[in-house]
Chains A and B, each alone.
Chain A
Amino acid sequence: AQKITQTQPGMFVQEKEAVTLDCTYDTSDQSYGLFWYKQPSSGEMIFLIYQGSYDEQNATEGRYSLNFQKARKSANLVISASQLGDSAMYFCAMTEGQSYNTDKLIFGTGTRLQVFP
């Protein structure tokens, strides 16, 4: 069965510093997608970044980058130049199954990031 593991319940980072949030996954599928979402205290889930299993380059979206190491089954999120507004819960997720016509996701338990001045 597929599984997402986020081992850091909480992380602290100083404003303007970079931070890495860990995510490891377990799957026997050859094709899959990996996602990161941000959940502020308001509760809404905000999509940050996506990495396909066959993508050779690491995904980047502005200050967010995904450190994808396929052999290690890890998909760590790197946030550069942290801002106070980055304080939130962060969830790693992956697609479930190899069906072309589904976007079912399984989620990790999340990491709470707190950015301090």
Chain B
Amino acid sequence: DGGITQSPKYLFRKEGQNVTLSCEQNLNHDAMYWYRQDPGQGLRLIYYSQIVNDFQKGDIAEGYSVSREKKESFPLTVTSAQKNPTAFYLCASSILAGLYNEQFFGPGTRLTVL
């Protein structure tokens, strides 16, 4: 089945440690996105990528880094510079065909920094 996988579902880390969240898609989508969701709030864009080896900052990129070495993969690293990393992280992808296209989301990773 085609879809987006994120791993792990729950992640615990100590303060000051970097952590990498995995996102893989087999939908052959061009674009991939990372969002952060805090309780009672909507999604905020961290980074997005429209093509391999290229990515752009979203609204809240500080303290995060990404790579796009393969079309299928878009890992997100939460660095120690991120002041409040505990949140729910969602990865998405879209096909970029036509004018506007819906984004397909993965199941999310809930990160807790202790």
Contact = CB atoms under 8 A, between A and B. Distances in A.
A45 interface: yes
Contacts of A104: 33, 45, 48, 58
B98 to A, nearest CB: 9
A47 B104 contact: yes
B30 to A, nearest CB: 9
Contacts of B48: 102, 104
Contacts of A109: 40-42
Given A101-B96, A103-B31, A104-B48, A47 B41 contact: no
A31 B102 contact: no
A102 B50 contact: yes
Interface string B68-109: 000000000000000000001010101010011111111110
Given A31-B99, A44-B105, A47-B104, 9 more contacts: A32-B100, A35-B102, A43-B88, A95-B100, A100-B99, A103-B94, A104-B33, A105-B103, A109-B40
- The 5 tightest CB contacts between A and B, nearest first, are A33-B100, A107-B42, A45-B105, A43-B108, A103-B94
Interface of B: 31, 33, 40-45, 48, 50, 58, 88, 90, 92, 94, 96, 99-108, 110
